[in-house]
Structure 1
């Protein structure tokens, strides 16, 4: 068997406009090319993109050597409603945008001659997603050449039978009889299931759009692992194969999720009309992809499906669970249920309904929020307690208990205030915080240490993402001229790690809550402290780890200290400005006045012994444009991530510096350029970016040269850097 990359030498064009075709390599996201327009049907879901349909073509020669072999194409993911043609003959269609599919082209090829493969992707049927989906062949494509007698694709299954004394079973499905040799190449340490310190993530890769580059997926998992997480939830669709490989290699557990809806539409043209008809083949595709990956700890059948408050939905919940058990009897099954929303739905006030999905399209031009947008806005105004307190109502238990009984692990979205009650009432129930707020981390950890039936927590979200704009943003007028979440808003603004991969103070808080770090400091951006900002329930704080706010001397701000301590003291330029005791949390907030110099926090035990301390210093006066590759050497198959930062000579970030940066690249292709700002009017495909709190990011695909050189110029300074190519 031979597996060959089928990712090069394609052309792409907006469907019906072949005269404007351009060359592309896969993975490719055509949605990045589309115009953003106020009033577009995609609205806040995709960031006001007027999404189009795109066609991909590839001309290739089928060698005479291929005769007698079975030739199969594997598409890892096409968004969405894909149709595949070979030499103008339609071969198949595949509607779900997040599962892979095989196309047997054996009997359709012209051997010794050119063949034309064409793939169409429909995405003009907006709205069809609650987040940025991307358009087209956004995951890799492979060509398999198989002899007549062969092991079936995805026909090898490895099952762990015991882990204390390691024992596995290997099953092989083939097209004929023969001998199969199984070789165990490396023995690893026994794998045990932790308590899950998890993060929810969407499938996009920030300024690269939906493109599932291997290196981008690996980097995302690496950043989350470095941030203290040991598990991710693929919200709300099956993850890529590249992400599974990254999780295996880095030791990150995966909860792979099927869908965001069952039979009630959340957006007018989403997959709700097809779930009940196609869930068996969809779940099989997900399990076939996942089965041999040790990182996959459990499956999730859905997210905030208010169907679970109805008899029909409860029955479907059980069917989905049973189907997954049949396909894979080794892994538990959950489903993320928003407990409070289930109650509202049962009372006729549901977040989602077919009527509201239809109404959302009509209201897009009027900027009138309905469905999830309305409730997200309400949660932003009411704060994080809104859903958590609502979940404690008695009817919320009544409207979720039957669905929870139809799964192996009960998935609680924003239901942490129910944990203690439900653990007593349902002694057999396992509870998973399938979606939680950042501010819940300390409470979860303290509860989980005392009760092993609370098996984990997945914060919304681990890393910021495109679409669902403004839902988690805490933005000031300086960076967002309006808080309407209209055109110009491109990201959710939520994430313990921002869109470019920068760890925020919230991540430090989380690591302290999980007892992985002893102390951290966050500073409310001094120039904007006290100003009105966009509201969000999904942002605990917008504090950043910086004391470089020259020109703001004498201005009031707040400094947050994260520590598990009896008491904490804060010092500005050596003078103590206050001492506080944490109250049922590991976060204390000091009102203070900014002065250039330093801020230092010290955590003490009950005997005044120093547990830990941390200091931030003001950057020097001279400004440098630092061009900082994340890796000094990469292979030709990897990507170069390059941070662009305004710093002092020592590399200390200067978050008050702002300005456009123009980037040029030699020895590679600039794939994406942008900042982490949730409000961003430029294109990520351009060569000019604004900075956000002093920095931006460039992503480069290496060429065939021995090195890549990056040049950056701004009105404040200029800089350059080189990256070696292995």
Structure 2
């Protein structure tokens, strides 16, 4: 079966009211003014919404803001949600003024996300609410404004304990915008763009736009849209004039023939720009610029996912929404860095687990060329935790789902709508009815993309009709059942691994001997990546093999791309089976699942995926080569490569070449569906060699010629610090970040793989210290401080730019180590 979707999409930028080069609207929103100067206080004062409340003593904060990430870590909180204070009641207040002229316009506030159970007040009057913290919403301020006087916008949040299976954060954690618009306007999400025709180098672009008149006065309106290509040249313009009665809407349909098009693709994410302009009585009142991309998507039961006519294997990751040491507070650069690291591993697809992502996530994926599975819910009517989304599902599911689709349907990166993850209705006889209802909503809002869901039960959803209620079947953790599942579903059904592996490990930790069980007493999991931990999990090798056996599948989404706060499996609990607190193995409080740790530092497993998902020659070797007291004893050495063969050298002596796919590595395996024993992996190369201090070197060959190499040296005692910034020049906008890795090194500059020195950071000049981290799942040190203990030789410093150009000076020091310095330049 072939599903064909030809989609022309636009990526909405954060502010609707942007000026064109030559034409400016009469009124525009001041985004910056509504990010700064908020007042915050925990607790629940009875008069929190009142204009008479004296709030001079409240704390000043900038938005986005996550109060929970500030800590403290404490065992009285739930390790499942990071051991942080994600629940309680708190208030935000914002004082602002509008002129008499502005008050005559249409004035709204738009929240990209408020975590959660939010109630909005203006000047003491309740004007809105939203329980779901992951979905944006707009509130009309116009009827309650006091022109020329102080206005008070107040937001009460009441996130509950036991409301999430991972760290949710707490607060106004996504961006907020004040929008001052002419009453004649395109509303939020009022533009929908498709391509009914794409052929060769031509496309027909269909833009459907809603123009509304929120006043009671009729208006003479001129509306036009101009499209510019990736180089900025105008390629098409269409306009029309019409009379728009008061309190009415006009739906405008425009079709643009485009020639010599540049398609949006994974390797070439070309973005065009559509600029729509509204004039009323000859005056420009709104101008909206929107980047977009042109591409076609198809899904085939035999060829899999087809992008722009070419089959593409989905090499995907699932990602939760937190940004590690920054918490849930949205930041564009931190989001971009995460996805750049994922791309370097070979990732081309993202699953937004298990909720609507921030707009920044989709903007980043649009610009980097990463396709997205956009997911709505982790719960429907049956809850996994006592205070989860199931409490509001009946009232809010349709609004939340429709809003997600309307918000995201114009992004070229989005290719599927997921209506749920591991939904407990899978076990219900009539659960399929809910799935069908949600799938129908998706098709109603956007018939250009298929629906999907992640199913982890067997055989329930395949027998009771739930899997048949979605267009594409996502399978969680069932590689040994792929054949059975395919045989149970109708011919032509399309499948993929929607959540795979769930391997756990700690960066730089190696336990010997290599055994089936993790060493609970250490609080960590070995990076030999054979001990899975949870019963449903399995090594990546198992999924690699299963995907090879089913080339018709779309691909896989591993759990997860980055370690995240909360859910410290295999410590503390058992996923859906464990309600309540996960504190039995405190202080384990963050995830072990990913090939990249909480700080963004790569674990060994990163290179195992890279060896399967990339083509540029690479080779990786593990473990470290500091085994004092193990001299002469045998150490297992693993190598990962995308080349044909690898040769190992220890202190210059060759231990022979191994051929990938031929020389197999036996690894201990035990998981549900696989009897305890060993698995012969064709994806790893291995040797067992006697330990002697010195160096470990691997050379990769293809066609008999060396194409890549890597060397590890035995380090001496810690002697200094090396600082490496991901970017040495950033933008002076008060939001840009530089991520600086501090590595403890010996006198010769070799990394010390087990160093745990405490490093202090001094930051001065044109920026400030934002956070520190080290990737240790058991560390309960605060993130908002100027010192951090190294975890297996590394820790991380994050600096934020100010708004003045100049230089950010960084100094790192620790007793007994030589001091290190680096600088970051900032410019407009």
TM-score range, shorter chain: 0.7 to 0.9
In the TM superposition, what is the alpha-carbon distance from 1:643 to its structure 2 partner? 1.4
2:263 is the counterpart of 1:189: yes
In the TM superposition, what is the alpha-carbon distance from 1:444 to its structure 2 partner? 4.5
Contact 2:634 2:688 in 1 (8 A): yes
Contact 1:511 1:517 in 2 (8 A): no
Q: Which runs of 5+ in 2 are unaligned?
A: 1-16, 18-27, 46-54, 214-220, 231-260, 266-305, 504-537, 573-581, 665-679
2:693 is the counterpart of 1:596: yes
Contact 1:564 1:586 in 2 (8 A): no
Contact 1:77 1:140 in 2 (8 A): yes
In the TM superposition, what is the alpha-carbon distance from 1:399 to its structure 2 partner? 5.0
Match of 2:780 in 1: 681
Match of 1:723 in 2: 824
Q: Which one of 206, 210, 215 corresponds to residue 169 of structure 1?
A: 206
2:388 is the counterpart of 1:270: yes
What secondary structure, in the 3-state scheme, does the structure 2 residue paired with 1:247 have? helix
In the TM superposition, what is the alpha-carbon distance from 1:43 to its structure 2 partner? 4.2
Match of 2:184 in 1: 149
Deviations 1:603-640 (A, max 9, x none): 567x9776755433344666221222211100023112
Match of 1:206 in 2: 324
Match of 1:61 in 2: 97
CA distance in 2, matches of 1:462, 1:472: 19
Change (3 A) 1:694 1:617: same
Match of 2:8 in 1: none
Change (3 A) 1:400 1:27: farther
In the TM superposition, what is the alpha-carbon distance from 1:13 to its structure 2 partner? 1.1
Deviations 1:176-211 (A, max 9, x none): 553222323335335453221000110000000111
CA distance in 2, matches of 1:86, 1:434: 43
In the TM superposition, what is the alpha-carbon distance from 1:519 to its structure 2 partner? 4.6
In the TM superposition, what is the alpha-carbon distance from 1:400 to its structure 2 partner? 5.1
In the TM superposition, what is the alpha-carbon distance from 1:110 to its structure 2 partner? 1.0
What secondary structure, in the 3-state scheme, does the structure 2 residue paired with 1:697 have? strand
Larger strand proportion of the pair: 2
Contact 1:37 1:487 in 2 (8 A): no
CA distance in 2, matches of 1:603, 1:420: 35
Match of 2:163 in 1: 128
In the TM superposition, what is the alpha-carbon distance from 1:19 to its structure 2 partner? 7.7
Change (3 A) 1:43 1:565: closer
2:736 is the counterpart of 1:710: no
Q: Which one of 130, 140, 150 corresponds to residue 114 of structure 1?
A: 150
What secondary structure, in the 3-state scheme, does the structure 2 residue paired with 1:175 have? strand
2:30 is the counterpart of 1:4: yes
What secondary structure, in the 3-state scheme, does the structure 2 residue paired with 1:454 have? coil
2:138 is the counterpart of 1:102: yes
2:712 is the counterpart of 1:616: yes
What secondary structure, in the 3-state scheme, does the structure 1 residue paired with 2:108 have? strand
CA distance in 1, matches of 2:631, 2:438: 60
Deviations 1:348-369 (A, max 9, x none): xxxxxxxxxxxxxxxxxxxxxx
**Counterparts in 2 of 1:344-493, with a 5 A limit?**
396=459, 399=462, 402-426=465-489, 427-437=491-501, 441-442=540-541, 444-445=543-544, 448=547, 451=550, 453-471=552-570, 486-493=585-592
CA distance in 1, matches of 2:410, 2:649: 53
Match of 1:236 in 2: 354
What secondary structure, in the 3-state scheme, does the structure 2 residue paired with 1:693 have? coil
Match of 1:510 in 2: 609
Change (3 A) 1:293 1:55: same
In the TM superposition, what is the alpha-carbon distance from 1:451 to its structure 2 partner? 4.8
CA distance in 1, matches of 2:124, 2:165: 34
Contact 1:164 1:190 in 2 (8 A): no
CA distance in 2, matches of 1:549, 1:286: 52
Contact 1:239 1:256 in 2 (8 A): yes
What secondary structure, in the 3-state scheme, does the structure 2 residue paired with 1:402 have? coil
Match of 2:121 in 1: 85
Contact 2:36 2:61 in 1 (8 A): yes
Q: Which one of 656, 661, 666 corresponds to residue 754 of structure 2?
A: 656
Q: Which one of 736, 743, 761 corresponds to residue 645 of structure 1?
A: 743
In the TM superposition, what is the alpha-carbon distance from 1:44 to its structure 2 partner? 2.5
2:334 is the counterpart of 1:216: yes
Deviations 1:104-145 (A, max 9, x none): 10111111121111111112x211000001010000101111
Larger Rg belongs to: 2
Match of 2:43 in 1: 15
What secondary structure, in the 3-state scheme, does the structure 1 residue paired with 2:465 have? helix
CA distance in 2, matches of 1:10, 1:669: 20
CA distance in 1, matches of 2:141, 2:416: 34
Q: CA RMSD in A?
A: 2.6
What secondary structure, in the 3-state scheme, does the structure 2 residue paired with 1:308 have? helix
CA distance in 2, matches of 1:107, 1:704: 35
What secondary structure, in the 3-state scheme, does the structure 1 residue paired with 2:607 have? helix
Change (3 A) 1:248 1:565: closer
Contact 1:48 1:486 in 2 (8 A): no
Match of 1:358 in 2: none
**Counterparts in 2 of 1:321-360, with a 5 A limit?**
321-340=439-458
Change (3 A) 1:571 1:164: farther
CA distance in 2, matches of 1:322, 1:486: 44
Deviations 1:324-356 (A, max 9, x none): 11111111111111134xxxxxxxxxxxxxxxx
Q: Which one of 519, 523, 527 corresponds to residue 622 of structure 2?
A: 523
Contact 2:770 2:798 in 1 (8 A): yes
Contact 1:30 1:54 in 2 (8 A): no
Match of 2:416 in 1: 298
Match of 1:180 in 2: 224
Contact 2:619 2:700 in 1 (8 A): no
Change (3 A) 1:143 1:50: closer
CA distance in 2, matches of 1:230, 1:513: 13
Q: Which runs of 5+ in 1 are unaligned?
A: 341-395, 474-482, 525-545
2:727 is the counterpart of 1:631: yes
Change (3 A) 1:485 1:686: farther
CA distance in 2, matches of 1:489, 1:329: 44
